[in-house]
């Protein structure tokens, strides 16, 4: 099956040779081709270029993209979209003046989601989660990372990971799976934190590794959750079971989580709302991708990741949604890109790089996703007719997507 997309007003994120990520000043460069064509063969990008160089080939299908922008689908490297129920009551509690930490101390927060998850059947969790996955695909996401972390028991964690596996089997979108048993301490381990960490390391990790249920290991490294020392212990154990770390750090406090992540060669360190100069310094020259989650900052009214300082320091930056029931009940990457421009003062070029190639890197997928490169997955967003790609962040409340193509098929 060969599909030709012709008369593309502008084809974005064109990389003749694959790059794994872009950093610092390189983030401002978004290579494009105006008046372009793109050829899809089966599920891959086979060719692209200017319309004047369109080769004479037989195709099965033609899409006329006149007036439309085409770009790679979003790569959302940080989500928790497998969960049960919702936390809309806490949302209203917060409007009424309670803080995230106060709600957590009252038995809300992650423990509330864990209670619901453990009470809900695997089938029901799958049914609820697949609707969210379908929604994010329609919003232009073509690769996504999904975490466990609402089980906090071996049964609950395995149940979540099996749901993620089933989603990966049943949908064309690429899914990477992260084990986040260290998301919070369950109530019955409140007075015995070492006991829970021991359960993660000696019971959960071996079972997960044996059944190949996860690609990465994650820890919520934060005051009141997992200390730096505990985070390091879990990262070390994860690595021994073949799971590279991707960790939650610096959301509310800078306690040394970034330095720990770098020390263990984490694929990414995520959140980064609170960044000291030493945190930025620690990331320089490393293979660890910093990931910002601006819709979480928006929803919780907490600081935004200081993107300008980080880019100025030469760092790369990826953008992701953090789609979860408590702090970010939205998986809309278009909103993330717009919010990064509006609130973090990233340029449209930087934000699109952060949400495509750098997001792919933060999932270990930059060989196959995140740019218009021959041989990569034919995962594409075709916009409605728009004046320029600036519209994507500028018209932040509008849905500008006409078609989403995943693995060569319009979904």
Q: Which lies closer to Zn ion via its Cβ, residue 59 or residue 300?
A: 300
CB of 91 to Zn ion, least distance (A): 17
CB of 381 to Zn ion, least distance (A): 24
Burial of 300 (0-12, 13-18, 19+ CB in 10 A): middle
CB of 271 to Zn ion, least distance (A): 7
State how beta strands 68-72 and 2-12 pair. Answer: parallel
CB of 53 to Zn ion, least distance (A): 44
CB of 234 to Zn ion, least distance (A): 16
Burial of 162 (0-12, 13-18, 19+ CB in 10 A): middle
CB of 218 to Zn ion, least distance (A): 8
CB of 385 to Zn ion, least distance (A): 36
Subset of residues 12 to 31 that bind Zn ion, contact rule: CB under 5 A: none
Q: Which lies closer to Zn ion via its Cβ, residue 178 or residue 373?
A: 178
Residues constituting the chain: 411
Q: Which lies closer to Zn ion via its Cβ, residue 221 or residue 262?
A: 221
Cα 106–Cα 326–Cα 125 angle in degrees, nearest 5: 110
State how beta strands 401-406 and 409-410 pair. Answer: antiparallel
Rounded Cα gap, residues 138 and 143, in angstroms: 12
Q: Where are the beta strands (DSSP E) in 13-165?
A: 32-41, 44-50, 61-64, 68-72, 74-76, 141-147
CB contact at 8 A, 328 and 248: no
Subset of residues 61 to 120 that bind Zn ion, contact rule: CB under 5 A: none
CB of 45 to Zn ion, least distance (A): 31
Question: How far is C-alpha 143 from the chain's CA centre?
Answer: 8
CB of 277 to Zn ion, least distance (A): 25
Per-residue tokens: 1: 């099956």
Subset of residues 295 to 334 that bind Zn ion, contact rule: CB under 5 A: 322
Cα 113–Cα 119–Cα 125 angle in degrees, nearest 5: 75
Rounded Cα gap, residues 261 and 305, in angstroms: 17
Contact pattern from residue 220 through residue 239 relative to Zn ion, giving x for each residue in contact according to CB under 5 A and a dash for the rest: --------------------
Q: Where are the beta strands (DSSP E) in 13-80?
A: 32-41, 44-50, 61-64, 68-72, 74-76
Q: Which lies closer to Zn ion via its Cβ, residue 3 or residue 339?
A: 339
Q: Where are the beta strands (DSSP E) in 42-140?
A: 44-50, 61-64, 68-72, 74-76
Q: Which lies closer to Zn ion via its Cβ, residue 101 or residue 278?
A: 101
Q: Which lies closer to Zn ion via its Cβ, residue 22 or residue 214?
A: 214
Subset of residues 365 to 404 that bind Zn ion, contact rule: CB under 5 A: none
CB of 248 to Zn ion, least distance (A): 6
Q: Which lies closer to Zn ion via its Cβ, residue 322 or residue 403?
A: 322
Q: Which lies closer to Zn ion via its Cβ, residue 221 or residue 341?
A: 221
Report DSSP letters for 248-295, one per residue: EESSS--SSHHHHHHHTT-SEEEE-SS--HHHHHHHTT-SPEEEE-HH
Nearest residue to Zn ion, by Cβ distance, number only = 322
CB contact at 8 A, 401 and 139: yes
Q: Which lies closer to Zn ion via its Cβ, residue 147 or residue 377?
A: 147
- Residues in binding contact with Zn ion, number by CB under 5 A: 1
Q: Does 273 bind Zn ion (CB under 5 A)?
A: no
Subset of residues 140 to 199 that bind Zn ion, contact rule: CB under 5 A: none
Q: Which lies closer to Zn ion via its Cβ, residue 79 or residue 259?
A: 79
The CA R_g of the chain, rounded to the nearest whole Å, is 21
Residues of this chain that bind Zn ion (CB under 5 A):
322
């Amino acid at each position: 099956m060969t599909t030709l997309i012709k008369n593309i007003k502008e084809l974005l994120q064109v990389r003749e040779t694959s790059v794994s990520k872009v950093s610092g000043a390189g983030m401002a460069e978004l290579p494009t081709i105006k008046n372009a064509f793109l050829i899809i063969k089966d599920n891959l990008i086979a060719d692209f270029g200017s319309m004047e160089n369109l080769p004479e080939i037989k195709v099965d299908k033609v899409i006329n993209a006149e007036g439309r922008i085409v770009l790679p689908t979003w790569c959302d490297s940080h989500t928790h979209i497998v969960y049960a129920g919702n936390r809309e009551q806490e949302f209203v509690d917060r409007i009424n003046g309670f803080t995230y930490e106060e709600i957590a101390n009252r038995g809300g927060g992650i423990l509330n989601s864990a209670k619901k998850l453990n009470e809900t059947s695997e089938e029901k969790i799958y049914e609820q989660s697949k609707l969210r996955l379908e929604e994010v695909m329609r919003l232009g996401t073509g690769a996504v990372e999904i975490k466990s972390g609402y089980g906090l028991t071996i049964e609950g964690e395995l149940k979540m990971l099996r749901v993620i596996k089933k989603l990966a089997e049943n949908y064309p979108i690429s899914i990477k799976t992260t084990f986040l048993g260290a998301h919070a301490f369950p109530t019955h381990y409140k007075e015995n934190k070492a006991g829970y960490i021991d359960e993660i390391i000696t019971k959960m990790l071996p079972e997960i590794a044996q059944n190949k249920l996860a690609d990465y290991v994650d820890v919520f490294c934060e005051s009141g959750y997992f200390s730096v020392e505990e985070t390091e212990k879990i990262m070390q154990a994860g690595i021994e079971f073949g799971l590279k770390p991707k960790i939650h750090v610096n959301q509310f406090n800078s306690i040394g989580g970034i330095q720990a992540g770098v020390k263990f060669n984490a694929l990414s360190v995520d959140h980064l709302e609170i960044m000291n100069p030493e945190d930025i310094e620690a990331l320089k020259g490393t293979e660890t991708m910093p990931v910002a989650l601006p819709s979480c900052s928006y929803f919780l009214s907490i600081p935004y990741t200081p993107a300008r300082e980080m880019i100025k320091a030469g760092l790369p930056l990826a953008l992701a949604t953090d789609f979860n029931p408590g702090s970010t009940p939205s998986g809309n990457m278009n909103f993330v890109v717009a919010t990064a421009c509006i609130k973090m003062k990233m340029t449209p070029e930087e934000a699109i790089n952060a949400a495509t190639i750098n997001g792919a890197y933060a999932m270990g997928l930059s060989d196959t996703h995140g740019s218009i490169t021959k041989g990569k997955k034919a995962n594409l967003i075709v916009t409605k007719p728009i004046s320029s790609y600036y519209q994507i962040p500028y018209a932040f409340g509008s849905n500008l997507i006409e078609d989403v193509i995943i693995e060569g098929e319009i979904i």
